[in-house]
């Protein structure tokens, strides 16, 4: 598939160039997919002394990992710790919540340890309320996350406006553990680290099928095969021919657009997120952004109702919204527009699907995968290497298809206008405190 180049490709300093697989290989662990998830797992498994092969259909970072918004976020989208505890039980739930909170720290520690040149800044993440009535929601959210050690605090309206650089917000959660980075460089840096630890990486190598041979798996590609005791399928549910129910039918795909403005002026840079934080607000129609190391503002958005022609009509709508949030940018415009596919689970929680013994297919996307895929990938890699389940923060489950999947797959887009309506209603609600 031909993709629009992202802003990250234009400024990436980390390189990746690995040979296609051209023979048969025998390893302990085979990883399908050269995104953050697969590479973090490959790194951990190789560090634990296992032989590892990563097979990537196109190029390292070709999927969501190299084309996302670059935000490193110590939180989950839409849901909180209570939802996690309900879904995973007290013990696993708590260890997963702590994994979420600690995930940004793991990302920045890996970057330091392997010298990954990805413009990373651990300058904090802001979660501002776009409506006065939502400040109480933020207080409840803060309380829930702080019970598990969150380092977030609540900012006043005045402090929020100063730190975001916008009159638009009424209070915010501020968590110093978050930040942002160039995700393509980060993913390539993980590949370099995994290769340095001994993992073999093959680009332009698409896995066409998995065959069971006794206790082992054989992964068939167009030019060779890999035999392995364990398989980690880290394809972000986007290889339906391979996964069957494991990914494609157990998740909902969502095309997300990312857009980068021209380089901001000195004055604009001094007033918009002057502390260098990344931010995502409280809207259903999420407004998220950061300023990358070259000085462009990067933001994202989804097309309501239909994808037809969205590449043309969506950017002007998102530019108008950007100019409303940051009047110092109006009339806002974008230089670079690209898109990628996210995979959503119905409850916004990750899953570790186990289609068959020795074959694991995790899903963490849900729009918050930079930090979470790193942390979960590392745990899965260690577990596959050692067999020790105590480190696993999620239960393994059998793949389950979403009923009426072809309808469910359209629901996020169809519901977006309702979300936008709720966002503007929230602005008119009187705060209850």
Ligand X SMILES: Cc1cc2nc3c(=O)[nH]c(=O)nc-3n(C[C@H](O)[C@H](O)[C@H](O)COP(=O)(O)OP(=O)(O)OC[C@H]3O[C@@H](n4cnc5c(N)ncnc54)[C@H](O)[C@@H]3O)c2cc1C
Interaction mask 202-221, ligand X, x per CB under 6 A? ----xx--------------
Q: How far is the CB of 368 from ligand X (least distance, A)?
A: 4
Rounded (10°) angle between helices 183-196 and 369-386:
20
Q: How many Å apart are CA 161 and CA 69, to the nearest integer?
A: 22
Binding mask 342-361 for ligand X (x = CB under 6 A): x-------------------
Binding flag, residue 35, ligand X (CB under 6 A)? yes
- DSSP-derived letter for residue 121 is B
Report residue 175 as tokens. Answer: 């968590």
Instruction: Tell me the C-alpha to C-alpha distance, in Å, between residue 402 and each of 248, 251, 299, 362.
Output: 9, 7, 30, 16
Among 47, 75, 373, 378, binds ligand X (CB under 6 A): 373
Q: Report 245-274 residues binding ligand X (CB under 6 A).
A: 256, 258
Told to check if 65 binds ligand X by CB under 6 A, we report: yes
- Contact between 226 and ligand X by CB under 6 A: the answer reads no
Alpha carbons 156 and 173: distance in angstroms, whole number: 9
Distance of CA 175 to the CA centre of its chain: 18
331 preceded by cis ω (within 30°)?
yes
**Interaction of residue 118 with ligand X, rule CB under 6 A:** no
Contact pick of 50, 368, 379, 382 for ligand X (by CB under 6 A): 368
Burial of 115 (0-12, 13-18, 19+ CB in 10 A): exposed
**Residues paired with 342 in a beta bridge:** 254
Q: Is 63 in the site for ligand X (CB under 6 A)?
A: yes
Binding status of residue 225 toward ligand X by CB under 6 A: no
Compare residues 27 and 234 and give the one whose CB is closer to ligand X. Answer: 234
150 near ligand X (CB under 6 A): no
Q: How far apart are CA 117 and CA 13, in angstroms?
A: 6
- Residue 239 in the binding site for ligand X (CB under 6 A): yes
Taking CB under 6 A as the binding criterion, the range among 57-65, 135-143, 167-175, 379-387 that sits at the site for ligand X is 57-65
- Is position 243 an interface residue for ligand X (rule: CB under 6 A)? no
CA-CA-CA-CA torsion for 86, 87, 92, 97, nearest 10 degrees? -80
Our measurement of the distance from residue 10's CA atom to the centroid of its chain's CA atoms, rounded to an integer in Å, reads 20
* CB 292 to ligand X: min, Å: 12
- Of 182, 127, 131, 118, the closest CA to residue 151 belongs to 127
Our finding on whether 236 is near ligand X (CB under 6 A) is yes
Nearer to ligand X, 132 or 355 (CB): 355
Pick from 242, 267, 219, 246: which is nearest to 343 by CA?
A: 246
> Of the ranges 14-22, 87-95, 235-243, 262-270, which one interacts with ligand X (CB under 6 A)?
235-243
| 304 in contact with ligand X (CB under 6 A) | no
In angstroms, what is the minimal distance from the CB of 36 to ligand X?
5
Question: Is 364 a residue that touches ligand X (CB under 6 A)?
Answer: yes
Residues with Cβ within 8 Å of residue 357, at least 6 apart in sequence: none
- 314 forms part of the interface with ligand X (CB under 6 A): no
Closest CA to 292 of 16, 74, 69: 69
Tokens 């999947």 correspond to: 405
Closest residue to ligand X using C-beta atoms: 369
Identify which of residues 321 and 427 has a Cβ nearer to ligand X in the complex. Answer: 321
Q: Which residues bind ligand X (CB under 6 A)?
A: 32-38, 55-58, 62-65, 67-71, 73, 206-207, 234-236, 238-239, 242, 256, 258, 300, 340-342, 364-365, 367-371, 373
């Amino acid at each position: 598939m031909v993709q629009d180049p992202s802003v990250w490709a234009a400024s990436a300093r980390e390189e990746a160039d690995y040979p296609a697989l051209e023979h048969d290989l025998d390893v302990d662990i085979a990883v399908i997919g050269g995104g953050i998830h697969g590479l973090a797992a490959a790194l951990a498994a190789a560090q634990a002394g296992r032989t590892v092969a990563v097979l990537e259909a196109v190029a390292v970072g070709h999927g969501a990992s190299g084309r996302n918004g670059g935000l490193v976020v110590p939180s989950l989208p839409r849901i909180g710790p209570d939802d996690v505890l309900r879904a995973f039980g007290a013990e696993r739930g708590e260890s997963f919540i702590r994994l979420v909170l600690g995930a940004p720290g793991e990302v920045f520690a890996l970057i330091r340890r392997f010298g990954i040149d990805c413009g990373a800044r651990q300058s904090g993440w802001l979660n501002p309320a776009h409506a006065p009535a939502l400040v109480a929601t933020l207080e409840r959210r803060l309380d829930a996350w702080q019970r598990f050690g969150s380092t977030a605090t609540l900012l006043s309206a005045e402090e929020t406006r100063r730190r975001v650089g916008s009159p638009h917000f009424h209070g915010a959660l501020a968590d110093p553990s978050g930040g942002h980075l160039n995700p393509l460089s980060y993913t390539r840096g993980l590949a370099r680290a995994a290769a340095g630890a001994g993992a073999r990486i093959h680009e332009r190598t698409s896995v066409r099928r998995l065959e069971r041979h006794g206790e082992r798996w054989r992964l068939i590609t167009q030019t060779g095969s890999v035999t392995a005791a364990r398989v980690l399928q880290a394809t972000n549910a986007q290889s339906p021919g391979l996964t069957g129910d494991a990914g494609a039918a157990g998740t909902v795909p969502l095309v997300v657009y990312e857009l980068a403005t021209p380089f901001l002026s000195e004055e604009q840079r001094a007033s918009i997120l002057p502390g260098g934080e990344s931010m995502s607000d409280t809207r259903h129609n999420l407004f998220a952004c950061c300023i990358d190391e070259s000085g462009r503002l990067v933001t994202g958005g989804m097309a309501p109702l239909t994808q037809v022609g969205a590449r043309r009509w969506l950017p002007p709508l998102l530019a108008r919204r950007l100019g409303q949030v940051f009047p110092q940018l109006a009339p806002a415009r974008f230089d670079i527009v690209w898109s990628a596919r996210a995979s959503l689970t119905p409850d916004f929680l990750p899953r570790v699907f186990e289609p068959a013994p020795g074959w694991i297919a995790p899903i963490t996307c849900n729009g918050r995968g930079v930090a979470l895929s790193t942390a979960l990938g590392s745990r899965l890699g260690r577990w596959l290497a050692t067999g020790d389940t105590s480190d696993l923060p999620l239960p393994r489950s059998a793949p389950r298809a979403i009923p009426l999947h072809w309808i469910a797959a359209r629901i996020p887009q169809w519901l977006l206008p309702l979300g936008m309506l709720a966002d503007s209603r929230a602005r008119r609600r009187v705060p209850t405190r």
